[in-house]
Chains A and B, each alone.
Chain A
Amino acid sequence: MLSDASPLTEVRRALEGKMAYSDRAWRELANLGCLSIMIPEAHGGLGLDGLELCIVAEEVGRSLTPVPILPSIYICAEAIRLYGSQAQQAAWLPGLADGSTIGTFVVGESKGANGTVEARFADGCLSGGKFVVPDGNAANVAVVATQTPMGMRLLLIDLDSNGIQRTPVASVDPSRPVSIVEFEQSPVEFLGLAGDAEWQHIRNRAAVLLAFEQIGAADRAIEMARDYALERKSFGRPIGSYQAIKHKLANAYAKNQIARAHAYHGAWALATGSPVLPLAAAAARISAIEAFSFAAQENIQTHGGIGFTWDADCHLFYRRARQQALVLGPVQHWKAQLLRELRGGFGDGGLG
């Protein structure tokens, strides 16, 4: 389905600013029930665990499908499903499930375009910031993780309400657009009592799902490089017969197999509610960042000069690899988490 609804030409249209996301692919995904896999049946979803969504994520990754599935489904819908009140679930989940509503997330204390930004919460309203928000212009609703007088809390904000400034900005991968968002006395609701632990849980689950997108995309980049190495001849023979190319691609394959192994482990931890999720999610995230970054950069290298042109598709992968390496926090952040889990005695990954 995705290879029809979301060919790389669709990624290019988003990249060139002709659309914020692929409406065609988004509607197809919604029609097939891909967006509502984890949403309860009562709210228009399928009520399944995460494994099916992992499969969807890998295919979305393979096609670099330009849709807001990470902010809307992996994060916003999950936060509302897990921690929202009945009323909040009823208000938002049906729209998120059928794709008519798009969700995103805002991290209340984070690095903005010009240094650290902080949100101020007072009297049920949020002010301040110049937050970097994925799909910030397309989104209708956001989960905000921010400090409040009651400590770190998850808040829900209707982005179509007054006092919110949203400005699209240039980013490394315009096929996954980013906005700068400012709040001015914008009304918010608490998402139950959810705080830092719950936010980390959401991030860990999203890291596993995103890892599946990354390994799908890395596989595709490796195939592209392989196909080109078979076709391109240099000094009278296919460049794929040279060990310099072979060993490079064998390394890319090995890195992605390690990432795949950790992603499967993460999927198992996610679906079973295992206490090793923080370890498995960090491992999936780190190895997927490294595998996709390597595959994307060496795909360009294997293509040589043609790989550096706008018309070749290599840069679509190179851009997405960077965007996905940063969107849930950089590799260093996740390595620190992994070290904490190893020191905490979780290094056997629940395998005994």
Chain B
Amino acid sequence: MNFDDNAEEALFRLRVRDWLEANAVRRDDRGNVDRSDTDARLARARDFQKRKTEAGFGAITLPREYGGGGGTAIEQVIYLQEEAAYDNQGVVDFFGVGLGMCLPTILHNGTVEQRDRYLSPGIRGEEIWCQLFSEPSGGSDVASARTSAVRDGDGWRLNGQKVWTSGAQFSDFGIITARTDADARKHRGMTMFIVDMKATGVEVRPIRQMSGECEFNEVFFDNVFVPDSLRLGAVNDGWNVALSTLMHERAGIGGRSRDLGWQRLLAMAEEVVIDGKPAIEDWRVTEPIVDSWLVEFGCRLISVRGQTALSRGQQPGPEQTILKMLKAPLIQQHAYLAMDMIGEAGMLTAASLGEDWEEIERAWMFGAGLRIAGGSDEILRNIVAERVLGLPPDIRIDKDIPFKEIPV
């Protein structure tokens, strides 16, 4: 494991630092909720993404001919590490899915025409993308898509419903999995398409999540026409295209997350008194903080190891799989401890406890969501057991029969 940059990396890091110092605003760690309206936030995000692209940081690993940086995975990691200290102006909220998943999928699976049409505007922040895989009948089970695409002249007609689509309400395009052969087995009868989110028959309805906010959507497709020129990959090969998309999703290693961490808990414990005794002298409080640090810092060390592998042009090891599985539940536990430390007042929200408390309130709510999103705790453990330890897959009663015979 190597904790230091090599000469080229150090140079790149300096270039990133200089650019960020001149072009971005340092963030403070408290109260990270932006309450301005969507149009204003989008305008700021567009502007920042445009400037990032001009500097070569807009999509570091995508090719230069489309406006990308033509750089390496390690440069991407270095950029994210440095950017973590700055306000990214909502770029991730609006363009994260496109840059991280949709555009790489088009680059690797799309036709020349598709690449020429979509990559450049997507990278520059002119067009917004969403990913339409999850359906009411299956989140973890990506191959269970029931939304259908049926041939119609020189194109296809889409019918069905997607769910948990981040950013659908302001997206211009999406990539979507649809069932094209219900007589085939489930993994063999799906096809991937690019869909125009402004097309007739597309309806986006916000989902009110348990926090009361609406970040995700349901998307309904009612006889939406998609020209065959927007098919991504071969007919009935959608499963393999989707796998490549999800690989890009999981390749996002190395960035320093800014979640509610042990530092804040330790600082609270130094101040708070419990049962007449400073919390910092109470093992019921300090032991969970020590345990948290062990996981948090351990995960950081594992990321560094992945980073070292990337820096040497190698593939990061299978241990990278455990990071999200360990960190997501920790966020929830951190929030509980912080709330417990202030006693009954922990029942209150940031509305009365102050902006400072928003970080904790969000950790409490979103910790629960993070354990599900992007591979649930349970699915990730299955992946470790099956792909890393080599245990046999569970018996799947729906794998080898025609899709239409699978019970709903």
Chain B residues closer than 8 Å to A347, beta-carbon distance: 262-263, 266, 293, 297
B386 in contact (CB, < 8 A): yes
Closest to B303 in A: A261
Closest to A290 in B: B294
Q: Give which listed residue, A253, A264, A342, contacts B1 with CB less than 8 A.
A: A264
Chain B residues closer than 8 Å to A257, beta-carbon distance: 298, 302, 319, 322
Q: How many A residues face the partner with a CB closer than 8 A? A: 39
**Whole-angstrom distance between the Cβ of B62 and the nearest chain A Cβ:** 29
Complex alpha-carbon distance, A13 and B317, angstroms: 38
Closest to B394 in A: A241
B299 in contact (CB, < 8 A): yes
Contacting B at CB under 8 A, from A328-352, are 335, 338-339, 342-343, 347, 349-351
Do B382 and A246 have beta carbons less than 8 Å apart?
yes
Contacting A at CB under 8 A, from B289-317, are 289-290, 293-295, 297-302, 304-305
B280 in contact (CB, < 8 A): yes
A237 in contact (CB, < 8 A): yes
B33 in contact (CB, < 8 A): no
Complex alpha-carbon distance, A245 and B386, angstroms: 11
Chain A residues closer than 8 Å to B302, beta-carbon distance: 257-258, 261
Among A240, A242, A246, A349, the one with the most B-chain Cβ atoms within 10 Å of its Cβ is: A246
Do A342 and B290 have beta carbons less than 8 Å apart?
yes
Do A335 and B1 have beta carbons less than 8 Å apart?
no
Complex alpha-carbon distance, A339 and B282, angstroms: 12
Do B297 and A246 have beta carbons less than 8 Å apart?
no
Chain A binding surface, main DSSP class: helix
Among A250, A260, A349, the one with the most B-chain Cβ atoms within 10 Å of its Cβ is: A250
**Whole-angstrom distance between the Cβ of B140 and the nearest chain A Cβ:** 13
Do B393 and A241 have beta carbons less than 8 Å apart?
yes
Do A268 and B3 have beta carbons less than 8 Å apart?
yes
**Whole-angstrom distance between the Cβ of A276 and the nearest chain B Cβ:** 11
A222 in contact (CB, < 8 A): yes
Do B322 and A253 have beta carbons less than 8 Å apart?
yes
Complex alpha-carbon distance, A253 and B289, angstroms: 22
Complex alpha-carbon distance, A261 and B384, angstroms: 17
B395 in contact (CB, < 8 A): yes
B381 in contact (CB, < 8 A): yes
Chain A residues closer than 8 Å to B394, beta-carbon distance: 241-243
Complex alpha-carbon distance, A251 and B382, angstroms: 11
Do A247 and B294 have beta carbons less than 8 Å apart?
no
Contacting A at CB under 8 A, from B369-392, are 378, 380-382, 384-386, 388-392
Chain A residues closer than 8 Å to B241, beta-carbon distance: none
Complex alpha-carbon distance, A229 and B263, angstroms: 40
Chain A residues closer than 8 Å to B286, beta-carbon distance: 339
B99 in contact (CB, < 8 A): no
**Whole-angstrom distance between the Cβ of A207 and the nearest chain B Cβ:** 14
Query: A226-B389, A339-B286 in contact; A258/B294 too (CB < 8 A)?
Result: yes
Do A250 and B381 have beta carbons less than 8 Å apart?
yes
B398 in contact (CB, < 8 A): no
B326 in contact (CB, < 8 A): yes
1/0 contact string of A9-23 vs chain B (CB within 8 Å): 000000000000000
Do A249 and B290 have beta carbons less than 8 Å apart?
no
Closest to B320 in A: A257
**Whole-angstrom distance between the Cβ of B81 and the nearest chain A Cβ:** 10
B222 in contact (CB, < 8 A): no
Do A243 and B382 have beta carbons less than 8 Å apart?
yes
Complex alpha-carbon distance, A287 and B299, angstroms: 12
Chain B residues closer than 8 Å to A260, beta-carbon distance: 319
Complex alpha-carbon distance, A335 and B284, angstroms: 13
Do A237 and B391 have beta carbons less than 8 Å apart?
no
Complex alpha-carbon distance, A283 and B300, angstroms: 13
Query: A246-B382, A347-B262 in contact; A238/B392 too (CB < 8 A)?
Result: yes
Q: Give which listed residue, A259, A261, A343, contacts B280 with CB less than 8 A.
A: A343
Complex alpha-carbon distance, A186 and B279, angstroms: 47
A319 in contact (CB, < 8 A): no
Do B391 and A264 have beta carbons less than 8 Å apart?
no
1/0 contact string of B1-17 vs chain A (CB within 8 Å): 10100000000000000
**Whole-angstrom distance between the Cβ of B132 and the nearest chain A Cβ:** 29
Q: Give which listed residue, B295, B305, B381, contacts A246 with CB less than 8 A.
A: B381
Do B385 and A335 have beta carbons less than 8 Å apart?
no
Do B325 and A249 have beta carbons less than 8 Å apart?
no
Do B297 and A240 have beta carbons less than 8 Å apart?
no
B287 in contact (CB, < 8 A): yes
The 8 tightest CB contacts between A and B, nearest first, are A246-B385, A258-B298, A261-B301, A250-B384, A250-B381, A240-B391, A254-B322, A247-B381
Residues of chain B having any CB pair with chain A under 8 Å: 1, 3, 262-263, 266, 270, 280, 286-287, 289-290, 293-295, 297-302, 304-305, 319, 322, 325-326, 378, 380-382, 384-386, 388-395
List 15 A-B pairs, Cβ < 8 Å.
A222-B389, A230-B391, A238-B391, A241-B391, A243-B382, A247-B381, A247-B382, A250-B385, A257-B298, A258-B294, A258-B298, A261-B319, A342-B293, A347-B266, A347-B297
Other 6 A-B pairs with CB < 8 A, given A241-B393, A254-B326, A258-B326: A226-B389, A243-B381, A245-B385, A257-B302, A286-B290, A343-B280
